Amino acid sequence: MKALRAWTEDRLGIRPVAAFLAKKEVPCHKHTVLYYTGSSILFFLGIQIVTGVLLALYYQPTLAEANASVVRIMTEMPLGWLIRSVHSWSATFMIALVFVHLMGIAFTKAYRKPREATWLTGVLLLGSSLAFGFTGYLLPWDELSLAATKVGTNLPKALPVIGTWLTRVMRAGDDVTGDTLTRFFIVHVSVLPLALLAILGVHVFLVQRHGMSVPLEAERDKIKLPWLPFWPNFLLREAGVWLVLLGVLLTVAVFLAPGIGPQADLMAPAPEGIKPEWYFLFMFQTLKLFPARILGLNGEMIAVMIMMAGMAAVLLLPFIDNRPLERKGKVITGLAWAGLAYAVGLSIWSLL
């Protein structure tokens, strides 16, 4: 065993990493619970990768076979329905946790200097997660997923100059077809995972580089907070959280397994009750609120540009609120609460 350890150490040189983890401290304070959200996101990402690979073994991304292959996975493969359900629900849980994680950081102002780059990579990770959800929604190739993708890919068209080109790139043509399905599949299983893992690597490195954020008062007054060793005290606690989350995920996946609609027909009219995934509902409702023309301008374009401005503001938050530690940033907190209330309110409205 010793020889094996020495052999590994000679080749990988992981002793400094192990020493770093052994010395790593986790501060204990009123926001410590937020630390668990980050590792739980990683936990769900791991489940997504495992179940995604299993589904990809049987899924066929072609016009004729996509829907039928998902039906086969659900009805003929042993526990295929459960694998698909776990994949779908873990995506939901992961995105919900990414939102909670980012909101927690926004409210505690943990994005301020020197953690601007950590925030930027975090928002990019949210964008990647949403892109995963968007591309994955089309893959079952049923009526609702086709209609929702038509609406979703039509949105960039409203943008000036690059809009039409962007829509064509997303759809692999002028309309949503079998080529779109193939493109979405490739993006879902290769482009996005590579991008997400690369951004995640930078994000985790930056978290280790700058250390875990602590409340503003403690950072400002340089108060040494009580702490726990990462190994084993904090990691054991995290393992407990993961176990509970795994139980909840499996229970929800067994009792609320998603079904699948009839195969999409490219020539059929859009069905009633098109709804995107829950995390896009507030954007969907915002678009519904905007009429075709406002004061002579294209209403959809205005709505898309406002939403893009909002996203840019979220991405650049550390540079908008770049005040010193003494300032609490109540305006930003107020705006964050208003944004949250708006998103939740419009999502509920969309469901009614």
DSSP 51-108: HHHHHHTT---STTTHHHHHHHHHHTSTTHHHHHHHHHHHHHHHHHHHHHHHHHHHHH
**Intra-chain end-to-end CA distance of the chain, in Å:** 62
Q: Is the CB of residue 59 less than 8 Å from the CB of residue 73?
A: yes
Applying CB under 8 A, the span of 1-9, 125-133, 201-209, 255-263 interacting with another protein comes to 255-263
Closest CA to 324 of 219, 222, 224, 225: 219
Applying CB under 8 A, the span of 163-171, 176-184, 215-223, 237-245 interacting with another protein comes to 237-245
Q: Is the CB of residue 274 less than 8 Å from the CB of residue 148?
A: yes
β-bridge pairing 297-298 and 227-229: unpaired
Q: Choose which of 163, 258, 278, 333 interacts with another protein (CB under 8 A).
A: 258
Told to check if 228 binds another protein by CB under 8 A, we report yes
Task: State the Cα–Cα distance between residues 40 and 94, nearest whole angstrom.
Answer: 8
Told to check if 244 binds another protein by CB under 8 A, we report yes
Told to check if 46 binds another protein by CB under 8 A, we report no
- C-alpha distances in Å from residue 96, one per residue of 28, 92, 129, 233, 351: 24, 6, 10, 26, 17
Q: Between 278 and 290, whose beta carbon lies closer to another protein?
A: 290
Q: What angle do CA 242, 248, 254 make, to 5 degrees?
A: 130
Task: State the Cα–Cα distance between residues 99 and 106, nearest whole angstrom.
Answer: 10
DSSP 333-344: HHHHHHHHHHHH
Told to check if 219 binds another protein by CB under 8 A, we report no
Site map (CB under 8 A) of another protein, residues 3-32, x = contact: -------------------------x----
Told to check if 160 binds another protein by CB under 8 A, we report no
Q: Is the CB of residue 180 less than 8 Å from the CB of residue 137?
A: no
CB of 102 to another protein, least distance (A): 20
Q: Between 176 and 260, whose beta carbon lies closer to another protein?
A: 260
As given in the structure block, the two tokens for residue 27 are 């501060």
Residues 55-84 touching another protein, rule: CB under 8 A, are 71, 74-75, 78-79, 81-82, 84
Told to check if 230 binds another protein by CB under 8 A, we report no
Q: Between 144 and 192, whose beta carbon lies closer to another protein?
A: 144
Q: Choose which of 131, 151, 301, 302 interacts with another protein (CB under 8 A).
A: 302
CB of 142 to another protein, least distance (A): 8
Told to check if 272 binds another protein by CB under 8 A, we report yes
Q: Is the CB of residue 193 less than 8 Å from the CB of residue 199?
A: no
Q: Between 210 and 275, whose beta carbon lies closer to another protein?
A: 275
Told to check if 162 binds another protein by CB under 8 A, we report no
Binding site for another protein (CB under 8 A): 28, 71, 74-75, 78-79, 81-82, 84-85, 142-144, 226-229, 232-233, 236-237, 239-240, 243-244, 246-247, 250-251, 254, 257-262, 268-273, 288-295, 299, 302, 306, 320-321, 323, 329, 331-332, 335
